[in-house]
């Protein structure tokens, strides 16, 4: 039986045990860090002086050229700072950090990006700092609720404020190959329940936490349990997202749930897959939470404050949004990808927010339903 997202302690233990066998990213280099537990400075002149003495930022995010571009902008904003960006998948980063901290090694300052792994693994492992003391020293204008969709203080877990959500990406919907199923045949999620589509709907294995199960979770939140059960009965599961994407592009299946958008774009660049259309996102969308976290006993606490201040500014949010091609909860920052950027004026209308406590409960129920096939 596969571990679920909620077997946190078991999952974390197993992953930590495997770390010795897994290839690791290069470790953060030794730095002239101020030791953990340094004085909690609140005057910005003192913070800046201490930050320049520390001189290093060690942060991680997901991999890819987009985050590389952001890292270059971060270096430009702080030319005096040795920015050590070590990209890793969150599923690789979390067990590594837990293993290091259990050995008394606190090597990391910040994490930026998707929050679900942080909420499911690092938060219960107590591997992240409560971020509110860092936010308390931020200038008041950065925390002005009127500048942030949903108000400034929006966390993955409001009872344990370790991750501040600074933007969302929107997901959901399904893809149809219009060469196989025309627009008159499939217009909505409801159309997929027609018996003629049984076993002609391929889904990225929704029995585990991934883009496939998240689409079903959005349906659970919007359409209810009975609808999800009926759709599960119509669907066939595949273990890899690339297979799901390739099969619908090839027309082997007319409908795909959990298609890989990046891979689809690569096909489109080659002139392939133009007949594959996104359907149903408007009626059953979900939000993927992305945020800012500071690791436990950050070795460079004052650098972390300086960088956090920049990140929360319009300049910093735009640097991240323009690099990662997305958006910001800051209302004075441009959205760079309409396909994945939500309408922030309608945040309260989204019934499923992945990477939040409420979203965890919905996903847990979805995994139970999809395993009943």
For residue range 245-263, list pLDDT tens digits in order. Answer: 999 999 999 999 999 988 9
Higher-confidence position of 37 and 262: 262
State the pTM of this model.
0.85
Q: Tell me: pLDDT of 3 over 70.
A: no
Mean pLDDT of the region 262-270: 94
3-class secondary structure for the chain? CCCCCCCHHHHHHHHHHHHHHCCCCCCCCCCCCCCCCCCCCCCHHHHHHHHHHHCEEEEECCCCHHHHHHHHHHHHHCCCCEEEECCCCHHHHHHHHHHHHHCCCCCCCEEEEECHHHHHHHCCCCCECCCHHHHHCCCHHHHCHHHECCCCCCECCCCCCCEEEEEEEEEECEEEECCCCCCCCCCCHHHHHCHHHCCCEEEECCCCCCHHHHHHHHHHHHHCHHHHHHHHHHEEEECCHHHHHHHHHHCCCCEEECCCHHHHHHHHHCCCCCCEEEECCCCCEEEEEEEEEEECCCCCHHHHHHHHHHHHCHHHHHHHHHHHCCCCCECCCCCCCCCCCCCHHHHHHCCCEECCHHHHHHHHHHHHHHCCC
pLDDT digits (tens, 9 = 90+) for 105-151: 999 999 999 998 899 999 999 999 999 999 999 999 999 999 999 99
* The pLDDT value given to residue 257: 98
* The pLDDT value given to residue 14: 38
* The pLDDT value given to residue 25: 63
Mean pLDDT of the region 40-48: 92
* The pLDDT value given to residue 296: 97
What share of the chain has pLDDT > 70, as a percent? 90
pLDDT digits (tens, 9 = 90+) for 150-209: 999 999 999 999 999 999 999 999 999 999 999 999 999 999 999 999 999 999 999 999
* The pLDDT value given to residue 112: 97
pLDDT digits (tens, 9 = 90+) for 289-342: 999 999 999 999 999 999 999 999 999 999 999 999 899 999 999 999 988 899
Mean pLDDT score of the chain, rounded to an integer? 90
* The pLDDT value given to residue 29: 59
Domains located in the chain, CATH noted: 8-169+287-342 (3.40.190.10), 174-283+365-370 (3.40.190.10)
């Amino acid at each position: 039986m596969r571990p679920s997202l909620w077997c946190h302690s078991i999952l974390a233990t197993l992953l930590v045990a495997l770390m010795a066998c897994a290839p690791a990213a290069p470790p953060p280099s030794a730095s002239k860090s101020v030791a953990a537990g340094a004085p909690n400075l609140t005057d910005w002149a003192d913070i800046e002086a201490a930050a320049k003495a520390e001189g290093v930022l060690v942060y991680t995010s997901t991999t890819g050229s987009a985050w590389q571009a952001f890292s270059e902008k971060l270096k430009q904003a702080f030319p005096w700072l040795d920015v050590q960006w070590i990209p890793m998948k969150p599923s690789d980063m979390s067990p590594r950090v837990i293993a290091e901290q259990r050995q008394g090694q606190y090597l990391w300052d910040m994490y930026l990006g998707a929050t679900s792994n942080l909420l499911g693994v690092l938060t219960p492992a107590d591997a992240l700092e409560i971020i509110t003391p860092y936010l308390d020293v931020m200038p008041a204008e950065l925390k002005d609720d009127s500048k942030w969709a949903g108000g400034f203080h929006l966390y993955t877990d409001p009872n344990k404020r370790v991750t501040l959500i600074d933007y969302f990406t929107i997901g959901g919907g399904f893809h149809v190959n219009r060469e196989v199923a025309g627009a008159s045949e499939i217009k909505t999620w409801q159309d997929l329940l027609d018996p003629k589509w049984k076993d002609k709907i391929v889904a990225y294995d929704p029995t585990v936490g991934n883009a496939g199960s998240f689409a079903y979770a959005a349906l659970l939140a919007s359409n209810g349990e009975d609808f999800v059960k009926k759709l599960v009965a119509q669907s066939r599961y595949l273990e890899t997202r690339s297979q799901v994407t390739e099969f619908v592009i090839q027309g082997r299946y007319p409908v795909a749930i959990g298609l890989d958008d990046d891979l689809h774009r690569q096909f489109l660049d080659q002139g392939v897959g133009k007949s594959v259309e996104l359907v149903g996102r408007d009626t059953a969308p979900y939000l993927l939470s992305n945020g800012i976290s500071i690791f436990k006993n950050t070795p460079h606490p004052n650098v972390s404050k300086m960088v956090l201040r920049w990140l929360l500014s319009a300049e910093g949010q735009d640097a991240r949004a323009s690099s990662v091609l997305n958006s910001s909860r800051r209302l004075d920052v441009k959205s760079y990808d309409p396909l994945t950027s939500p309408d922030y004026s309608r945040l309260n209308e989204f019934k499923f927010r992945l990477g939040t406590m409420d979203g965890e409960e919905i996903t847990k129920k979805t995994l139970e339903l999809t395993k009943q096939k």
